[in-house]
Structure 1
């Protein structure tokens, strides 16, 4: 796979975006309390590789912990299709796109995306959690 433009949306369609992603470069799943409860499956991109097409006014925002990440969700259907933040360890400003919210991507394509697991629960981001099957 190479960089390709994908479109994504929330469940009700009020929030729509497109992002330039290289799915073969991998994705991440985290065991922090929020990602575990929502099963967020993210790919991190630079802000210039992400374009919000519709729904900025439909987004709600939630921050917790260090408040470095803006966890965004549709105010109508509640879906977290992407988030944004700024962390030096990730190279500064970034957008995290939820792969589960990409439109018209075959399940076979998603099944091939490499996944790296992060131990956000213990703020040990560079270590994989002991148990990952539930993520």
Structure 2
């Protein structure tokens, strides 16, 4: 069964929807920008993502090779998605911007080695996991 999910930025100016992959790939990345943003990403085929509101509010940041495009709301600054250098047919949706989802629902999140990017090294590696454990009250 196809599951359509929606999400958006903090101020609500940008909204999007996408088809949830059957086997979602959720990860963090240790590249310079992702590490600073602390983002958790859900990889989705580009053809399955649609900006439904606020396309004009989106700004784009790129650096280095210029291939990855980091899209964020120009009003509230929240990163909502990025076009991936490692997987050009996919984009990464910020899990925190998906309605009804939280990064704190994930006990473990794989960390992709973006500092040693596969486009540069030929190796697609994960370097570890980040864990979240709830305190017992």
TM-score (norm 1): 0.79
Which of 115, 127, 130 is the matching residue for 2:109?
115
CA distance in 1 between counterparts of 2:54 and 2:60 reads: 13
Quick check: 2:95–2:103 contact (8 Å CA) kept in 1?
no
* Aligned partner of residue 81 in structure 1, secondary structure: strand
CA distance in 2 between counterparts of 1:127 and 1:120 reads: 8
Quick check: 1:29–1:118 contact (8 Å CA) kept in 2?
yes
Unmatched runs of 5 consecutive residues or more in structure 1: none
**What is the number of residues matched between the two proteins?**
128
Higher RCO structure (Cα 8 Å, ≥6 apart) = 1
Unmatched runs of 5 consecutive residues or more in structure 2: 132-137
* TM superposition shift of 1:68: 0.7
Q: Which has the larger radius of gyration?
A: 2
Quick check: 2:69–2:82 contact (8 Å CA) kept in 1?
yes
* TM superposition shift of 1:25: 2.8
Which of 94, 97, 109 is the matching residue for 2:93?
97
CA distance in 1 between counterparts of 2:23 and 2:93 reads: 15
C-alpha deviations, 1:61-118, integer Å up to 9, x for none? 1101111111011001000011124x4x52x43221111111123678x427x73321
Query: Residues 106, 61 of structure 1: CA spacing in aligned structure 2 closer, same or farther, 3 A cutoff?
Result: closer
| Residue number in structure 2 paired with 1:128 | 126
CA distance in 1 between counterparts of 2:126 and 2:116 reads: 11
CA distance in 1 between counterparts of 2:52 and 2:66 reads: 25
Quick check: 1:26–1:115 contact (8 Å CA) kept in 2?
no
